[in-house]
Amino acid sequence: MTTYHHYRPEDAAEWDRTDPLADLRQHFTLPPGIIYLDGNSLGALPRTVKARLEQVITEEWGRHLIQSWNQAGWYEMPRRVGDKIAALIGADAGEVVVADSTSVNLFKALAGALRLRPERKVILTEAENFPTDLYMVQGLIDLLGGIHRLERVSIEALSEAISEQTALVLLTHVNYRTGAMHDMETITAQAHAQGALMIWDLAHSAGAVPLHLNAAGVDLAVGCGYKYLNGGPGAPAFIFVAKRHQREFIQPLAGWLGHADPFAFAPDYLPAEGIARAQAGTQAVLSMSALECGIDLMLTADMSQLREKSLRLSAMFMDTVAMNCPELTLITPRNPHQRGSQVSFCHPEGYAMIQALIAQGIIGDFRAPDILRFGFAPAYLRYTEVWDAAQALIRVVKERLWDQPAFKRKNAVT
């Protein structure tokens, strides 16, 4: 039988009093009366965003118009913001560029990586990987004429499945359903031992857990701007290509802004030196300006303090709920080395339970078929809020507060 740690409300209050990250919260706009446990889907709004967007709109766009491409740093923005993300993920300047969506960057990374292993035909991934990761591989295989094969295996079977046929291993570092975090260094080394390349999807890791891409020898990675980086809805994503691969890395979305000299308007594509070749077309300047605010804020925080707080928040929540609600099945690893910054439980009425919580101002989300998912963004959450959220969930379950028709009506976005 599992023994859970017994937390007390006084613990939460004491940790808030002594929290070295407590001041960070005031840099976010958080609506009163809401406990926000969904920063893993859409991060909160940094306070600087409004003024920054007003400046971009009024001054840079409104007054200086096209001159802002040169004078306001719009042109360099994807690389400049990429360098800032590099500092958050253990990469070097010149290895990350901000562009497009995570899905599109995955396509570029996958296609570019396959060209680096032309004789190999297998792409290996975790069966439970995020759907867009699976779909982008399937679409690419189809486009390439069906000569490659996607192999989906359980994470337990993954290391055994890597072979001399494997061109690439593609994994999401923190599983979106369970919150389980994979060992980046070990799996990357296992891929390399068989001559395969390693691509990591950092959607649920960047800004949430300490990352050391270069120390782990990662080849390629992609990640999201709108989750723990707090870049806003639909924020641009990023792609990392290790320096050692950049000369050979050719991605098929050969847009003009990935060209060696876009303003030469040459008829033939010649990829830019370095990470700029991972760009395709014109960047979304407004969205990227908001994202930069989120990243600047995350750069002010100590990542090891963020991690420590995130683990303590999630431990308190999972143990308190699991101890009191045997009806819920905890699917997130309790071992702190094996989880990211989210906690998930399963229950057949999970959707209605989440809706009942939302009606009380406690926002988590639901992932089909039966997962109640709670994200813990340590930059702006308080321990006492997480304590209150755990108590509310216990009441929803124990008192069957979820059992109402209104909570069972499905929304388009869950």
Binding positions for ligand PLP, rule: CB under 6 A: 101-103, 130, 132-133, 172, 176, 201, 203-204, 224, 237
Please identify, using beta-carbon distances, which residue of 24 and 184 lies nearer to ligand PLP: 184
Which distant-in-sequence residues (6+ apart) come within 8 Å of 354 by Cβ? 364, 365, 366, 372, 414
Q: Say if residues 205 and 183 touch (Cβ distance below 8 Å).
A: no
Nearest approach in angstroms of CB 200 to ligand PLP is 10
Please list the residues that pair with 199 across neighbouring strands.
170, 220
Please identify, using beta-carbon distances, which residue of 75 and 226 lies nearer to ligand PLP: 226
Please identify, using beta-carbon distances, which residue of 161 and 208 lies nearer to ligand PLP: 208
Rounded CA separation 241/244 (Å): 8
Nearest approach in angstroms of CB 235 to ligand PLP is 8
* Cα–chain center distance at 211: 12
Instruction: Supply the residues annotated as catalytic.
Output: 130, 201, 226-227, 373
Please identify, using beta-carbon distances, which residue of 136 and 316 lies nearer to ligand PLP: 136
Rounded CA separation 216/95 (Å): 15
Inter-CA distances, 177 with 101, 225, 341, Å: 20, 19, 12
Nearest approach in angstroms of CB 100 to ligand PLP is 8
Nearest approach in angstroms of CB 175 to ligand PLP is 8
Please identify, using beta-carbon distances, which residue of 38 and 201 lies nearer to ligand PLP: 201
Identify whether 326 is preceded by a cis peptide bond (ω within 30 of 0).
no
Nearest approach in angstroms of CB 19 to ligand PLP is 28
Rounded CA separation 286/56 (Å): 7
Closest CA to 205 of 188, 181, 231, 226: 181
